[in-house]
Amino acid sequence: MSNEYLEAIESELQEITRARNPHYGDFFNMFYYHLGWTDARGNRIQADTGKRIRPLLALWACEAVQGTWRDALPAAAAIELIHNFSLIHDDVQDNSDARRGRPTVWKNWGVPQAINAGDAMFVLAEQALDELPMHMSMERYVGVHRVFHSAIFKLTQGQYLDLMFERADRVTLEQYFEMVRGKTAALVSAACEIGARIGTNEPLLYRTLANYGEHLGIAFQIADDVLGIWGDPNVTGKSAHSDLLARKKSFPVLYAIQTATGNELAALYAKKDWNRSELKRVQDLLSASGAREYAMKQAEHHAREAALALQATKLHNSALRQMHNLIHQMVYREK
């Protein structure tokens, strides 16, 4: 990935989140900490910032359709801030102690302050979007805003379903895909569509790139579900048991429940607490069902659909190649 793009994204994010009033230094440090720039005391460090995939996609999509990628920087930053707003709130809702190998915002500052920090990051994202180039037509400007807000609403609907699934006795794979299209794919798709809308006024192009983003987001989430169960904690930055102990209705679990061993697995998932032998039994049942292999096949299916969408644009340039290379990186990754 181009260092020039990433450096521009970091610079844009730092400018948007810069503390204008020194009396609120610790308040802003919650943003800096979560974004990977400081420790909990405000000392500058370089922690894991996340992949910055969504803002990169916005810049690449803009350039791919022959736009000027720097014009898309405010939107790219807005999308990344919305993503991180959702992560801060997700950590509270999921009672997650760790994110990217460090204590979460709520773990350091408490739940009320974490909710407030997430709300503030949401507002900063809205303000970032208002910095789009003045030479854009009002029609295109409004179009970008509509896609942005539609994606946020879909994201919250997806989170609603994800939380609801934790209490549901049975969840189908069809319901899972509905959840993922909102919680994960909506913002990835919006990043591609918004970047393309800034670069071109051709509906076929930005809709095709939005389709690429949706399939990429689904492939990403299924691969993430696999890592949540079988990933290396030293690489992923979280326990390999956390998704199971939280009774996450991830893709491998939902598939396994539909197989021959599904009744036993469903019964174990219905129990409030597991002892060590029961956790081991859940892991064994998942492995025996072939859930890992089936999940990866589904991720690869959506990866192929994403590649076909890029092919359908009939564009050939370095930005589109970056988007194509990203497909493989998102499916076959270790974190």
Mean pLDDT confidence for 128-150: 93
Q: Comparing 271 with 213, which gets the higher pLDDT?
A: 213
255/248 Cα distance (integer angstroms): 13
Check if the beta carbon of residue 296 is closer than 8 Å to that of residue 223.
yes
Residue 330 pLDDT grade (very low, low, confident, very high; cuts 50, 70, 90):
very high
DSSP state, 71?
Answer: G
Q: Supply the pLDDT for residue 133.
A: 86
Minimum mean pLDDT range among 154-163, 249-258, 263-272, 320-329: 263-272
Q: Supply the pLDDT for residue 21.
A: 84
300 burial type by CB count under 10 A (0-12 exposed, 13-18 middle, 19+ buried) = middle
In the predicted model, is pLDDT for residue 1 greater than 70? no
Q: Supply the pLDDT for residue 248.
A: 87
Q: 241: closest CA among 72, 83, 96?
A: 96
Check if the beta carbon of residue 38 is closer than 8 Å to that of residue 45.
yes
Q: Supply the pLDDT for residue 232.
A: 79
Tokens standing for residue 161: 């379903």
Tokens standing for residue 118: 């997430």
308/302 Cα distance (integer angstroms): 10
Residue whose tokens read 């076959």:
332
Percent of the chain past pLDDT 90, that is, above it, reads: 81
Q: 120: closest CA among 233, 61, 32?
A: 32
Q: Supply the pLDDT for residue 172.
A: 94
Q: 180: closest CA among 123, 125, 249?
A: 249
Helices (H), 183-272: 186-199, 203-230, 233-236, 242-245, 251-257, 262-270
Residue 134 pLDDT grade (very low, low, confident, very high; cuts 50, 70, 90):
confident
Q: Supply the pLDDT for residue 167.
A: 83
Q: Supply the pLDDT for residue 169.
A: 82
This prediction's pTM = 0.93
Domains annotated on the chain, with CATH = 3-331 (1.10.600.10)
Mean pLDDT confidence for 138-156: 96
* 108-116, long-range: CB < 8 A, 24+ apart: 108/30, 108/33, 108/40, 109/30, 113/30, 114/30, 114/88, 114/89, 115/89
Q: Supply the pLDDT for residue 20.
A: 83
In the predicted model, is pLDDT for residue 272 greater than 90? no
In the predicted model, is pLDDT for residue 206 greater than 80? yes
